[in-house]
Amino acid sequence: MEIWINPACSKCRSAVQLLDAEGAEYTVRRYLEDVPSPDEIRAVLDRLGLEPWDITRTQEAEAKELGLKEWPRKAGSRERWISALAEHPKLIQRPIITADDGTAVVGRTDEAVRDALGR
């Protein structure tokens, strides 16, 4: 199990605390420092069953500068979104937990973190 975190994020800290409390074995990836490649983002999206715009933090200043809210949310625009996430990792929703069964969850709630633990 791996968790992508930003240590400054309270949701990330809560998820890590819950994983620790449950005695889970996991690897921490500080994704702002160890930036995921476009291929890694594609793989996580496949595991999540989501599209890149579903995990994009559109309220971030960088998102506003890029005009992401105006970008089309369709298959033909998928690679543009993935490239933006790879170039601006702060835009990736967090925390993302990749479960041992090959799936993943966005662990913003205790329930989502527990769901990842049960996989």
Contact criterion met (CB below 8 Å) for 53 and 81: yes
Contact criterion met (CB below 8 Å) for 94 and 4: yes
Q: Which of 9, 32, 35, 43 is catalytic?
A: 9
Catalytic residue list contains 9: yes
In SS3 terms, 21-40 reads as: HCCCCCEEEECCCCCCCHHH
Contact criterion met (CB below 8 Å) for 80 and 71: yes
Q: Give φ, ψ of 25 to 5 degrees.
A: -95, 125
| Residues annotated as catalytic (active site), given as ranges | 9
